[in-house]
Amino acid sequence: MIESLGIIFFLLLISAFFSGSETALTAASPPLMHRLEQDGDRRAAIVNRLHANKDRLIGAILLGNNLVNIMASAVATGFLIELFGSAGIAYATLGMTLLVLIFAEILPKTYAFRNANGAALGIAPWIGALVFLLAPITGALQWVVRGTFLIFGVRLDTNDSLGANADELRGAIELHEGDADDDEETTRRERAMLRSVLELQDVEVGEIMIHRKNVIALDADAPPAEIVDAVLSSPFTRLPLWRDDPDNIIGVLHAKALLRAVRARDGGLESLDGLDVVALAADPWFIPETTTLHGQLQAFRKRREHFSLVVDEYGALLGIVTLEDILEEIVGDIDDEHDITFSGVALEADGSYRVDGEVTIRDLNRQFEWRLPDEEAATLAGLVLHESRRIPDVGQSFKFHGFRFDILERQHNQITLVRVVPPQPEGDVLDQEPEVKE
């Protein structure tokens, strides 16, 4: 009797070990294990190898777990039949179900789930050895399973998880809550930065460039003194030079190069006659508007340049993009790091926002964690034009994607100022129902 109880107890311990190991190894954090392996943790390296072949891992654990559970049930059934006759079968079924459920499933899995990383590191060497020993058996079982699926037309080699890793990472970013000492604003900014890094491969430079109408460019044939004054009054260190036509960019003048030339002349502005600013300028670097931010960032690093001109498919100048523009897509506007708003956006007392039409949708989504679509339009004005299918008049209102857009100002055909009312938690509290455009 004592011997049978001892065997059952021992088998339940082994079953609990298998159950807890399955939960711990599947719930352990892959990024953490990867970092620990890089730091030299051999146990983490074993966990990563087990993760790399989950079919064999799960097969070995399930094989061992079912083996000891069935063996424990068989011992218990034989033991209780000797005590109670045929009724012992029912007693064994009920008793072993409760014992296995509580002590071999719920308890070990609950502990392993709440301590997944530490438990995975602790049991990794043992499970690794077990998987190695049972490899021939689990390999045969996998062959049988795959063959069975093929009979029913199911192919396990199909990769249905394309992009799943990126989606999982995006989901983890949305769940990011920051450190305990971080306030909500800090956490929101961290999420925005992490999202921006993932989106570098998907965003094109045409979506973030400085439009040509806002670009300060210099006439290369202007008097040198006039060019020097323009450079000194500009907040930028690199300025495009054009000749004959503003679209004909022939170089990019750096303020330092110009000032060195001015100092070398040593005679004041009167001595600048004959100064060839084109010779001081660097060759222009033209890039297509479809270049991704990730690709352009790598190109900036490779060429060791910070400034490029964006052109469309016909070669027409669209604007400029700089290294700073791409970096600000990740970290946000560093000039306004202590302000809840950024250039072109003003918060109203009623909770609405007055937004310049040229503010990008990406900036709005990142700043306020909105979900406005940016596939068809880069700026707020472009989004209103796309959704309304018209050039709206001042005073018109539209409602789409849960937001209300009131047109406040327009210059010619360009929307310059829009009042944006975000979705209200308890319904739209505005007095006037806006015009709805499908």
Domain boundaries, the chain: 2-151, 205-304, 334-436
Q: Evaluate the CA torsion angle 89, 95, 99, 100 in order and state its sign.
A: positive
Tokens 């992490």 map to which residue?
194
- For domain 334-436, the question of CATH label 3.30.465.10 is answered with yes
Give 175-202 pLDDT, tens digit per residue.
766 565 666 667 777 777 787 788 888 8
Predicted pLDDT of residue 63: 92
Predicted pLDDT of residue 4: 84
Report the alpha-carbon distance of residue 50 to residue 58 in Å, rounded. Answer: 9
What homologous superfamily is domain 205-304 in, according to CATH? CBS-domain (3.10.580.10)
Predicted pLDDT of residue 404: 92
Give 349-396 pLDDT, tens digit per residue.
888 899 998 888 888 887 787 888 887 888 899 999 999 888 999 999
Helix (H, G, I), strand (E, B) or coil at 242: strand
- Rounded alpha-carbon distances, angstroms, from residue 132 to 19, 117, 172: 18, 22, 33
pLDDT lower than 70: segments of the chain? 156-168, 170, 174, 176-185, 266-272, 333-343, 425-438
Burial label for 309, CB within 10 Å (0-12, 13-18, 19+), is buried
Predicted pLDDT of residue 436: 46
Tokens 């690199």 map to which residue?
238
**Sequence-ordered list of residues with C-beta below 8 angstroms from that of 86, at least 6 positions apart, any chain:** none
Amino acid at 221: D
Predicted pLDDT of residue 438: 41
Do the strands 245-254 and 397-400 form a parallel or antiparallel pair, or are they unpaired?
Answer: unpaired
Q: Tokens for 401?
A: 């994607």
Predicted pLDDT of residue 223: 87
The H or E element spanning position 400 is strand 397-400
Q: State residue 69 phi and psi, 5-degree precision.
A: -65, -45
Predicted pLDDT of residue 118: 93
